[in-house]
A and B are shown apart, each in its own frame.
Chain A
Amino acid sequence: MSVNDVIMDAMIENNVGFVTTVPCKQLAGVIEKIEQSDKMIHVPSNREDEGMGLCAGAFMGGRRPAIIMQNTAIGVTINSLATLIQYYRIPLPMLISYRGEIGEPVACQVEMAVHTKALLDQLCIPTYHFHKEEDADELPAILNHAYMARKPVAVLMDASFWKGY
């Protein structure tokens, strides 16, 4: 099974009902599947902080939310994570393409990659790093963990996981 299918099945298994996305080439296959699914509402957002607002609203409306974004978005969303998602205790799995790791062709992506884990750590956000394909087997439990704990949870999926670009 492709990693895209593994990710999709994990979301369906966890009854994810609302997904907002800001695209990444690595995440394109998953985003396409989300768009086609009748099990979840898909709302592309223009910026990731906007997406977190959408997810907070959807959660209060009774749907389990998730956000799909690049790791550069951590720089955009720190205020939203601290003052909305964490402050009001809203569960939010963040499925993140971890740009700037080994295999990255774009040097500038490395500049945010070196800050990504430190920022997540500073925010006390549980963080999981998918490096090999089989790491995705843990995704259903990670999603369940986020909704149980009512916390944002980060899943960093690097270039090795995606087998290149």
Chain B
Amino acid sequence: MIRSDVLKTLIPLISDELVVTNIGLPSQEMHLLDDQPTNFYMLGTMGLASSIGLGLAMAQPKKVIAIDGDGSVLMNLGTLPTIANNQVPNFILLIIDNGSYGSTGDQTTYAGMRTSLADVARACGCDHVVECAAEDTAAAVEAALAAEQTTVIVSKCESGNIKVPVIELDPVMIKERFMASVAE
């Protein structure tokens, strides 16, 4: 399974949840597969999906799922101690770990080599870290949504991309409709 296959399995679970999606293909794939006002698409700023998700979860009580990538988490590795030391009951960080920089030509990341992001998250102090195979991701997300705790899920999937169009939505529109969903 590649990332877009994993995302497809999640849609029935997360369609109505607040979702922050990472720059590039993850946002574009979610936009293509299931565009929702409850999706916040990052159009730039690689690395900050988990930070945006955590800030959102801390500011209000609804569940928040940040869908991040291994390359982006590696770029903002400081996010993991911040998550570990500010654990809230409504935050899920889902790292789709395909071991590569998918949006830039599938170059291998260090997570695709010797570095285990699940082990890094645990070492940072995250109490609930789940590493799973791609096909078990939906079950892990379902369990995390049912639990009242910060959960970090590392979904190990294959590298590869489907062809998707860029997102042409205006960023302010993405934000405004997302904020309206948050406030509902």
> A residues engaging B (CB < 8 A)?
17-18, 20, 41, 43-47, 49-63, 65, 79-80, 82-84, 87-90
Cα A53 to Cα B81 in complex, Å, equals 15
Cα A63 to Cα B55 in complex, Å, equals 10
Whether the Cβ atoms of A83 and B45 lie closer than 8 Å is yes
Contact flag A57-B82 (CB < 8 Å), given A62-B59, A88-B175, A89-B175: no
Q: Hey, which chain A residues are within 8 Å of B57, CB to CB? A: 57, 61
Whether the Cβ atoms of A63 and B48 lie closer than 8 Å is no
Cα A35 to Cα B58 in complex, Å, equals 15
Q: Hey, which chain A residues are within 8 Å of B42, CB to CB? A: 84
Cα A79 to Cα B44 in complex, Å, equals 9
Contact flag A18-B82 (CB < 8 Å), given A49-B76, A57-B53, A88-B174: no
Number of CB contacts from chain A to chain B under 8 A: 121
A-B contacts, 23 of them at CB < 8 A, read A18-B55, A41-B58, A41-B59, A43-B86, A45-B51, A49-B76, A52-B48, A53-B47, A53-B76, A56-B52, A56-B55, A57-B52, A57-B54, A57-B56, A58-B56, A60-B175, A61-B55, A65-B55, A83-B43, A83-B44, A84-B45, A84-B52, A88-B174
> B residues engaging A (CB < 8 A)?
20, 40, 42-45, 47-60, 64, 76, 78-79, 81-82, 86, 171-172, 174-175, 178-179, 182-183
Say which residue of B50, B59, B78, B174 sits within 8 Å of A47 (CB atoms).
B78
Q: Hey, which chain A residues are within 8 Å of B82, CB to CB? A: 43-46, 50, 54
Whether the Cβ atoms of A84 and B44 lie closer than 8 Å is yes
Whether the Cβ atoms of B51 and A54 lie closer than 8 Å is yes
Say which residue of A49, A55, A90 sits within 8 Å of B47 (CB atoms).
A49
Whether the Cβ atoms of B40 and A60 lie closer than 8 Å is yes
Cα A52 to Cα B58 in complex, Å, equals 14
Distance in angstroms from B56 CB to nearest chain A CB is 4
Whether the Cβ atoms of B182 and A54 lie closer than 8 Å is no
- Of A45, A55, A79, A80, most buried by chain B (CB within 10 Å of CB) is A45
Contact flag A53-B48 (CB < 8 Å), given A43-B58, A61-B58: yes
Whether the Cβ atoms of B56 and A61 lie closer than 8 Å is yes
Whether the Cβ atoms of B179 and A60 lie closer than 8 Å is yes
Cα A17 to Cα B58 in complex, Å, equals 11
Distance in angstroms from B75 CB to nearest chain A CB is 10
Whether the Cβ atoms of A58 and B55 lie closer than 8 Å is yes
CB closest residue in chain B, given A63: B59
CB closest residue in chain A, given B77: A46
